[in-house]
């Protein structure tokens, strides 16, 4: 059983490492990640929201819907652990 | 879990003057830094998640160095539940409020209908309000996860 698990991990790792070869080069301005909306955020964040930290502006404003459900997911995880583990004192 | 608790009790960790005194000195500074990370997230790296984890970690440190009873004395169980719910409610409530006063969901600039300042200033403020909500929720959920997992759910004694 351990040998199968080891084999599965090694094969998965090898596939992932093979996939890494297709990544865009580090800090390449022509990579798809840098050409879509990133330049819009860099140019317009301070003008539109007054927030100097672009990461916070994207997290809290432009992608606020995503962050809201991140919070809800954490909240649900906590509620689930309380429901499963906590026993009442009485 | 019981096995881990017995092992920890045998080694008599935490019954140490040095650990107690240094924890008592460190906890206020960790909490101050957590508040700073939440409030200053607009300008420097940080935000609700990171600041909330710092605040929660300060209470976990108290629970580790003393025991669960001491951490209940500083931050009660019911208050923890209230703050966690309020935190999530602040975020969702702000979002719904934006929709109610005539804007889009999560469009903070619509809140000028409530307090007439610059709409762009409202987007700045809205992100701050939301970050406070995230910080509160993350802090209390972190702490309640530690309480439940370390005591096995009966909240009597931790690790």
ipTM score of the complex? Answer: 0.82
Domain residue extents for chain A? 1-27, 37-90
Range list of β-strands (E), B44-104: none
Please identify which residue in the block is written with the tokens 């160095």: B65
What would the two tokens of residue B34 be?
């957590």
Q: Which residue of B has its CA nearest to A88?
A: B154
Number of domain units in chain B: 1
**Helix and strand totals (H; E) in chain B:** 6, 0
User: How far is C-alpha B124 from the geometric centre of its chain's CA atoms?
Assistant: 22
Report yes or no on B30 lying in a domain.
Answer: yes
**Cβ under 8 Å to B: A residues 10-69:** 48-53, 55-57, 59-61, 64-65, 67-68
Please tell me the pTM assigned to this model.
0.83
Encode pLDDT of B116-139 as tens digits: 888 899 999 999 999 999 999 999
Encode pLDDT of B14-48 as tens digits: 567 888 899 999 999 999 999 999 999 888 888 88
Q: Is B87's CB within 8 Å of A49's CB?
A: no
**Considering CB atoms only, which of B43, B88, B154 is closest to A75?**
B88
**Cβ under 8 Å to A: B residues 95-154:** 95, 105-106, 108, 120-121, 123-124, 126-127, 130-131, 133-134, 137-138, 140-141, 144-145, 148-149, 152-154
Task: Give residue B9's domain range.
Answer: 2-151
Q: What is the pLDDT at residue B139?
A: 94
Q: Which of B52, B69, B66, B37 is nearest to B143 (CA)?
A: B52
> Do the beta carbons of residue B68 and residue B144 sit within 8 Å?
no
Report yes or no on B159 lying in a domain.
Answer: no
With b for 16 or more beta-carbon neighbours within 10 A and e for fewer, the B101-139 pattern comes to: eebeebbbbbbbeeeeeeebebbbbbbbbbbbbbbbbbb
Question: Quick one: B92 exposed, middle or buried, by C-beta within 10 A (0-12, 13-18, 19+)?
Answer: middle
Chain B closest-CA separation from residue A64 CA (Å) = 7
**Considering CB atoms only, which of A50, A52, A75 is closest to B137?**
A75
φ, ψ for residue A47, nearest 5 deg: -70, -35
Report yes or no on B51 lying in a domain.
Answer: yes
Question: pLDDT grade, residue A89 (50/70/90)?
Answer: low
- Mean pLDDT for B97-120 is 88
């Amino acid at each position: 059983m351990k040998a199968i698990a080891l084999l599965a991990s090694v094969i998965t790792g090898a596939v992932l490492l093979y996939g890494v070869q297709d990544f865009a080069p580090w800090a390449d301005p022509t990579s798809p990640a840098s050409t879509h909306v990133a330049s819009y955020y860099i140019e317009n964040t301070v003008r539109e929201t007054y927030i100097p930290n672009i990461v916070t502006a994207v997290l809290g404003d432009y992608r606020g819907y995503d962050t809201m459900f991140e919070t809800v997911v954490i909240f649900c995880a906590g509620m689930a652990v309380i429901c499963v583990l906590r026993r009442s004192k009485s | 879990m019981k096995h881990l608790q017995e092992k920890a009790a045998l080694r008599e960790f935490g019954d140490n003057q040095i650990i107690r005194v240094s924890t008592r000195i460190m906890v206020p500074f960790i909490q101050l830094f957590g508040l700073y990370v939440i409030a200053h997230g607009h300008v420097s790296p940080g935000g609700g998640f990171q600041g909330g984890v710092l605040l929660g970690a300060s209470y976990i440190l108290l629970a580790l160095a003393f025991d669960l009873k001491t951490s209940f004395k500083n931050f009660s169980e019911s208050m923890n539940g209230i703050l966690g719910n309020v935190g999530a409610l602040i975020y969702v409530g702000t979002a719904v409020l934006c929709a109610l006063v005539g804007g889009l969901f999560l469009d903070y600039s619509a809140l000028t209908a409530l307090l007439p300042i610059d709409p762009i200033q409202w987007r700045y403020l809205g992100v701050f309000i939301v970050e406070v909500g995230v910080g509160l929720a993350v802090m209390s959920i972190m702490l309640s996860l530690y309480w439940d997992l370390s005591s096995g759910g009966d909240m009597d004694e931790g690790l």
